[in-house]
Amino acid sequence: MIDYVIEAGNSFVKIAPIIDGKLQYIERISLLESQIIINKIKGKNIVLSSVADENFRDDLTNNATIKFELNRNSLFPFKSYYQTLETWGMDRACNVCGALAKKTDTPILVVDIGTCIKFDFIDKNEFYHGGSISPGVNLRFQAMHNGTANLPLLKPSKSTELIGQSTQASLLNGVMIGMQCEIEGMIAKYEQQFEKLTVILTGGDLFYFDFPEKSNIFVEQNLTIEGLYQLYKFHAE
């Protein structure tokens, strides 16, 4: 029996209890508050996927029983054309499994907006092809701050104007509006090439952006952890 599913990213941990075999509410907790997570899972059985440092994993191992941990030796319930699975991010694997569980019978494009922006494409025959990776919001702000002498380090903001009338406003709209245009432009390119495309948006920074309402675009905030649970069930069968 599984008590919790845990997906640990670069900055945050998502943790979801399992009740009667189903994922319940999902909490998003900063890695800086890892003791809160340890207290929750003490003595419990867990499913884990983690890109966090080994210290966090050691804390989990010392306090809970890991019944399944996703890694690059795990089996996946889909076929893949991807050429470097040995370096494939496990969050991307979870997203693909979560998307396939939706049973859309169409090509699927997953857009994960987090530390990086990740596009992952699955064709209508459920073959995974790959996609693209580019810097996310905070990486862009950090790059401009660290790579220049005078530009300040800013935080993301949902409220931006097209024309920045100050250095701060120019940085904000360059990153936020620039990312919005990048994502919408990439989606448009996929839509031109693949008919009846289903687009699934997910990721911790998704809430900073407003995307047009279209019948083929869906928001699945917890797609990664849902896909991780699907992978556990696949291995448990």
210 carries an active-site annotation: no
Residue span of the structural domain in which 230 resides: 79-137+167-236
Residue 161 lies inside a defined structural domain of this protein: no
Q: Compute the distance between CA of residue 159 and CA of residue 96 in angstroms, rounded to an integer.
A: 31
* 124 Cβ contact list (under 8 Å, min separation 6): 105, 106, 107, 196
Out of 36, 69, 102, pick the residue that ends a domain.
69
Q: What average pLDDT does range 46-68 have in this prediction?
A: 88
At 8, the pLDDT band (50, 70, 90 cuts) reads confident
Set 20, 58, 91, 112: catalytic member: 91
DSSP-derived secondary structure for 28-80: EEEGGGHHHHHHHHTT-EEEEEE-S-HHHHHHHHHHSEEEEE--TTS--SSEE
**Banded pLDDT at 150 (limits 50, 70, 90):** very high
Which amino acid is located at 17 in the chain?
P
What does the alpha-carbon distance between residue 135 and residue 143 come to, in Å, rounded to a whole number? 9
Least Cα distance to 199 among 78, 208, 133, 190 occurs for 190
pLDDT at residue 209, rounded to an integer: 93
Give residue 50's pLDDT.
86
Which residue is listed with tokens 């291995």?
A: 235
Instruction: Examine the pLDDT at 108 and tell me if it is beyond 90.
Output: yes
Q: Are residues 230 and 183 in the same domain?
A: yes
Q: Position 117: which residue type?
A: I
| pLDDT surpassing 80 at residue 53 | no
Q: Are residues 107 and 24 in the same domain?
A: no
Q: In percent, how much of the chain has pLDDT > 70?
A: 100
Instruction: Supply the mean pLDDT for the chain.
Output: 91
- Token pair of 58, please? 């050691």
Q: What is the mean pLDDT of residues 79-107?
A: 90
How far is 58 from 225, CA to CA, in rounded Å? 20
CA 47 – CA 68 distance, rounded (Å): 5
d(CA 207, CA 27): 16
Does residue 158 fall inside a structural domain? no
Q: Tokens for 131?
A: 């996609």
pLDDT at 158: 85
How many Å apart are CA 168 and CA 166, to the nearest integer? Answer: 5
Q: Are both 171 and 196 inside the same structural domain? A: yes
104: domain CATH number? 3.30.420.40
